[in-house]
Structure 1
Amino acid sequence: MKLKSLLLSLGLLAGATAVQAEDPLKVGFVYVGPVGDLGWSYEHDLGRIGLEKHFGDKVETTYVENVPEGADAERVITQLAKAGNDLIFTTSFGFMNPTVKVAKRFPKVTFEHATGYKRSRNVGTYVLRTYEGRYVSGVAAGMMTKTNTIGYIASFPIPEVIRDIDTVYMAAKKVNPDVKIKIVWVNSWYDPGKETDAANALMDQGVDILIQHTDSPAPQIAAEKRGMRSIGQASNMSKFAPEAHMFSVRDNWTPYYVNVAEEVMNNTWKPSDYWGGFKEDMLTIESINPNLPADVKAKIKETYAAIKSGELKPFTGPIKDNKGNIVVPEGHSLTDEELAQVNWYVEGITDEIPR
């Protein structure tokens, strides 16, 4: 009788284990903006949807949008961990410290933080090589500007944004020695009103090409209204500015989200600092406008191909900062670790970085 009870117990336990093994991987996402921002958060959510399409009922996803960076982020991340999510993606730089803090309290949950640099046993980081897209943008802007003045609408003075401004200017300067860059900081990732005001302020100062590191299509719309030019950020923004839009640099998160989920399912995940770009098809050039001159369209494609193949590495020395210091020695290409610490403007940019 005892043996029968024991076998029955073992059978029940085996059955429970089988059911548990078939449970879907629960994956949570935290977005700094609305999924309808048509930029950064919008593309992250397309990545989430791509994850669902790839795995079907093997995954169950949820997301929280419009999460401010700071205390609210910690609360939201904690709620997702308490809700039983096995894997949580936090998708903005300002979520870094809250992510690391919550991860310590939930050691069995896997956390992935976008654009940060702090890792631990259950926290990995991932980032796009957005500077690759900015280099292509700078080349095109430098060739197209008639006023020799391009404008950059910047969000926050973090390394990602600073190095992208540098890349735009270096690329533009290479094809147009007379080019200047004007920068307006809006201190927001997504604020269509501020983005519109910044775009108009730049155009009032003689800017005729707009590049943005913010997430709404507002700058595209502003450029269209005033007959200027613009380059889309994070998603394909061509429909908002049929004439003004030159092309968009689109983020594609699906490959990474699928890969990480697979690793967690297979118990092979390890914390790392992942960088994806043109080579991995996580950044793409989309909707090159047919109304661009033939030589500009050809140069866009040529520059993209050179970066994708590894022939062209934007941060290869010699590079001086705008104080005259050599920040990248001749022949050296910045490593990922060094790229993550860029906090200087290159020679020729007359602005100061906000502190």
Structure 2
Amino acid sequence: MKLTHLLATAAVALGMATSAFAEDKTKVGFVYVGPVGDGGWTYEHNKGRLAVEAEFGDKVETVFVESVPEGADAERVMTQMALQGADLIFTTSFGYMDPTINVAKKFPDVKFEHATGYKTAENVSVYSARFYEGRAIQGHIAGNMTESNIIGYIGSFPIPEVIRGINSAFIHARKVNPDVEFKIVWAYTWFDPAKEADAAKVLIEQGADVILQHTDSTAPLAAAAAAGNVVGFGQASDMAEFKDGPRVSSIIDDWAPYYIARTKAVMDGTWETMSTWDGIGAGMVGIGEITDKVPANVKAEALAMKAALADGSYHAFTGPINKQDGSAWLAEGETADDGTLAGMNFYVEGIEGEIPQ
């Protein structure tokens, strides 16, 4: 009887120890606006999640929900993650900003990280990448490669992040080709291959022989491939499956180092609210291979610009630059401050059309 009791006690103790070990795992959640197989934005965020698992092994558990609409659904998903024991939640789209703040208030012990937004709280950090640095390089290449002098741009939503990208690409395309014209189509979606393809087709019909995009799928590159004699760029990921076709380079988002660092901060108790906005220099923005479709001299210039952006010797928004209405914005040699860039709500001089409200 005593032996039986001893064995039972040992079994209970072992069970408690196993349970405690399981509880020691740091649970990290990810909320995605698109599917993990989108080949772009969400695909790269999910690579970051997998990097967290690879880095910490059985010390972490990660969970994710994909294709979550911005709004009430997002708030529901975040709440569920918090209730299910998440210690840290990454919310990876601009439209998740207010839902993140709302849910964070209800769960003060959970840490939240919101991508591309600007609202913080004691338990909410924000992070983004200086995508406009990559857009400058794309603009340089596009301005050199267009033969029609019409560059098409597919915008997702008219938010500062997207407007910055349009302006940066336009400025650098115009520097090398004063005759360049931008035609902009707003898709009002981050990920909708059918809408993105339609937008690309419209731009190509309007004479664009270069397509830039700030949407998440490979559909614009597929449309460019179908049209022939049209070039484009990978968005958020390399989209290398098109590199033997229209894709001449890409902007690559590398979230893995940030996700690993912030997860580690939760694990060791050093996590604090902060705002992070890194670019090419820090490795958060990468430039994909520039293919041989790009003339050698243009490729060399693009790589030199990449190096200058990385070491800080060049800023993508360096004056003289006027606003669309012709009023002065940046004087000769003056560079834009982060506050203005973060809230950018105007086009630069030379871009036609109005920003939708």
TM-score range (shorter-chain normalised) is over 0.9
Aligned residues of 1:224 and 1:241 also touching (Cα < 8 A): no
Matched to 2:125, the amino acid is G
Please list the CA deviations of residues 109-157 of structure 1 after superposition, one character each: whole Å capped at 9, or x if unmatched: 0000000000010000000100011000000000100011111000000
What RMSD in Å do the two structures reach over aligned CA positions? 1.7
Q: Which TM-score applies when normalising by structure 1? A: 0.93
Distance 2:62 2:335 in 1: 39
Aligned residues of 2:141 and 2:294 also touching (Cα < 8 A): no
1:176 equivalent to 2:177? Answer yes
Length, aligned pairs only: 342
Aligned to 1:214: 215
Partner SS state of residue 171, structure 2: helix
Partner SS state of residue 246, structure 1: strand
Aligned to 2:3: none
Matched to 2:300, the amino acid is A
Please list the CA deviations of residues 235-254 of structure 1 after superposition, one character each: whole Å capped at 9, or x if unmatched: 11121352211111111100
Indicate which of 317, 323, 332 corresponds to 2:319: 317
Partner SS state of residue 68, structure 2: coil
Matched to 1:166, the amino acid is N
Aligned residues of 1:221 and 1:241 also touching (Cα < 8 A): no
Q: Which segments of 5 or more consecutive residues in structure 1 lack a partner in the other structure?
A: 1-11
Partner SS state of residue 235, structure 2: strand
Distance 2:180 2:329 in 1: 22
Distance 1:114 1:104 in 2: 18
Distance 1:329 1:123 in 2: 36
Distance 1:265 1:304 in 2: 35
Please list the CA deviations of residues 52-93 of structure 1 after superposition, one character each: whole Å capped at 9, or x if unmatched: 111111111000000000010000010011110000000000
Aligned to 2:10: none
Distance 1:108 1:16 in 2: 24
| Aligned pairs (5 A) from 1:19-34 | 19=20, 23-34=24-35
Deviation at 1:21, TM superposition (A): 9.4
Q: Which TM-score applies when normalising by structure 2? A: 0.92
Aligned to 2:8: none
Distance 2:346 2:156 in 1: 16
Aligned to 2:354: 352
Identity between Structure 1 and Structure 2 (%): 54
Distance 2:293 2:211 in 1: 17
Matched to 1:180, the amino acid is E
Q: Which segments of 5 or more consecutive residues in structure 2 lack a partner in the other structure?
A: 1-12
Aligned to 1:9: none
Indicate which of 296, 304, 307 corresponds to 1:305: 307
Runs of 4+ in structure 1 over 6 Å off: 15-18
Aligned to 1:48: 49
- Cα 1:22–1:332 shift into 2, 3 Å: farther
Distance 2:133 2:62 in 1: 30
| Aligned pairs (5 A) from 1:251-270 | 251-270=253-272
Aligned to 2:281: 279
Deviation at 1:18, TM superposition (A): 11
| Aligned pairs (5 A) from 1:1-355 | 19=20, 23-227=24-228, 228-240=230-242, 242-355=244-357
Matched to 1:64, the amino acid is V
Deviation at 1:292, TM superposition (A): 2.2
Partner SS state of residue 24, structure 2: coil
Matched to 2:56, the amino acid is F
Distance 1:339 1:55 in 2: 36
Partner SS state of residue 311, structure 1: coil
Matched to 1:297, the amino acid is K
Deviation at 1:285, TM superposition (A): 1.1
Distance 2:88 2:58 in 1: 16
Aligned to 2:7: none
Distance 1:92 1:45 in 2: 13
